[in-house]
Structure 1
Amino acid sequence: MTPVITIDGPSGTGKGTITALVAERLGWHMLDSGAIYRVLGLAAQRRGLALDDEQALTQLAEVLPLSFSAGQVLLDGEDVSEAIRTEEAGAAASRAAAHPPVRAVLLEWQRKMARPPGLVADGRDMGTVVFTQAPLKIFLDASPEIRADRRYKQLKEKGLDANLPRLITDIRERDARDRSRPVAPLCAAEDAVLVDSSRMSIAEVFDRVLEEVRRVFPGLVA
């Protein structure tokens, strides 16, 4: 079987950055599962579909014109890498992901991403649902306040308006929605390694994850 490392956790913990760094270090493929749901949410909004219309979203998921190329996320051939990173897109992704039939359609799509030499998968249910047999599972977490502050700084650096109290509220609401959904709720797998990134830099989190990679895959990295 193709070796898989899963990195799960809520939004704003740095799991996307860590996943990319680990995949690059190992020379493995990378799966950003959140991008799939964000693209679905964006596509639904562009088509005027309601995010609570389970049947319409499921049908869209079955024919979603999504592809990844050279670090870009493509929807119908259009680079939407930036468009899917807005707070609105994140909220839409969370609502779309709450529908069990939608998740079922996209489940096999994600599993097909596991191919040699290996895969590092980033998401919310990679270790608990999609790749339950992964030999290494990481769960990154951080307080809502820390995660909101990180997002606030990112938005400010891009010259965008941001309201910190509102970001904290949005993150708490999304966490509650993700943790309470009936299918694949956000939680750590029983055999996951828990890493709280609240007071850690990206470099420190990366080093911590590499410690686990060396433990589980001896000789894979120096």
Structure 2
Amino acid sequence: MRKIVIALDGYSGTGKSSTAKEVAKALGYIYIDSGAMYRATTYYFLENQVDLADAKSVENALSNISISFSGNQVILNGDDISNDVRTMRINENVSAVSAIKEVRVAMVAQQQQIGQERGIVMDGRDIGTVVFPDAELKVFMTANPDVRAERRQKELAEKGIHEELNTIKVNLLDRDKIDSSRAESPLKKAEDAVEVDTSYLTFNEQVDKIVELAKGIIHAG
């Protein structure tokens, strides 16, 4: 059966990662969490006090970063940092790190290498526009900011992290602005992407919608 690349882009808190995981599971595809790669890089930069304004320091740091996945675990240089990359500390810094050209070039190269065999689902902010502009299915996910903040608060609470709803909402809107206005690979909807507003969809409904779109393309080919 034909294998395709499915690119899920969109704003934080729209359910991209959880949806992408289930879509991959339903299709028997590999799920690649591109956002976790940027979060892992941010974690490394913060832990090693990398000066984001110093290109040489950034390049040296990137040469020492090895990111991989084991099930739901995010592995940075051999260490499981799955919980560390979901803290507000990372949330508040990941957009700035992601905006650095050298960081994006390094991550995109890794992502494209992973996707060469097709049969993958990858979520992020520039998957359909930069990483896989030839993806057979591109989805752009949106949702009401209040709904997104509530979802993120619940996600953090499940990890034992408790934050005020308004703090989370402000952070999400700040990230939207940074991600959409950055010079390098800004967040935007690909011209041929299908927009899915998840504000009033149940989780299963949004998964089913994307799986249905994917199967239509797979069987048409």
Contact 1:61 1:106 in 2 (8 A): no
**TM-score, with normalisation over the residues of structure 2?**
0.92
**TM-score, with normalisation over the residues of structure 1?**
0.92
1:170 is displaced (CA, Å) by 0.9
**Structure 1 stretch 82-91 or stretch 192-201: which is displaced more?**
82-91
Contact 1:2 1:114 in 2 (8 A): no
Structure 1 residues 59 and 2: alpha-carbon distance in aligned structure 2, compared to 1, 3 A threshold:
farther
Q: Secondary structure at the residue paired with 1:121?
A: strand
Structure 1 residues 24 and 157: alpha-carbon distance in aligned structure 2, compared to 1, 3 A threshold:
closer
Please show how residues 1-222 of structure 1 align to structure 2 within 5 Å. 3-116=4-117, 118-218=119-219
Task: Give the aligned CA root-mean-square deviation in angstroms.
Answer: 1.9
- The amino acid of 1:60's aligned partner reads A
Aligned counterparts of 1:13 and 1:77: Cα–Cα separation in 2: 30
Q: Secondary structure at the residue paired with 1:138?
A: strand
**Structure 1 stretch 118-127 or stretch 67-76: which is displaced more?**
67-76
Structure 2: unaligned runs, 5 residues or longer: none
**Structure 1 stretch 87-96 or stretch 37-46: which is displaced more?**
87-96
- The amino acid of 1:203's aligned partner reads N
**Structure 1 stretch 191-200 or stretch 22-31: which is displaced more?**
22-31
1:153 is displaced (CA, Å) by 2.4
Q: Secondary structure at the residue paired with 1:216?
A: helix
Which digits, 9 at most, give the CA deviation of each residue in 1:167-190, with x for residues without a partner?
A: 111111110000000011111100
1:22 is displaced (CA, Å) by 1.1
Q: How many equivalent pairs are there?
A: 220
Structure 1 residues 64 and 157: alpha-carbon distance in aligned structure 2, compared to 1, 3 A threshold:
closer
Q: Secondary structure at the residue paired with 2:32?
A: strand
Contact 1:54 1:102 in 2 (8 A): no
Contact 2:13 2:151 in 1 (8 A): yes
Structure 1: unaligned runs, 5 residues or longer: none
1:219 is displaced (CA, Å) by 7.4
Aligned counterparts of 2:159 and 2:110: Cα–Cα separation in 1: 33
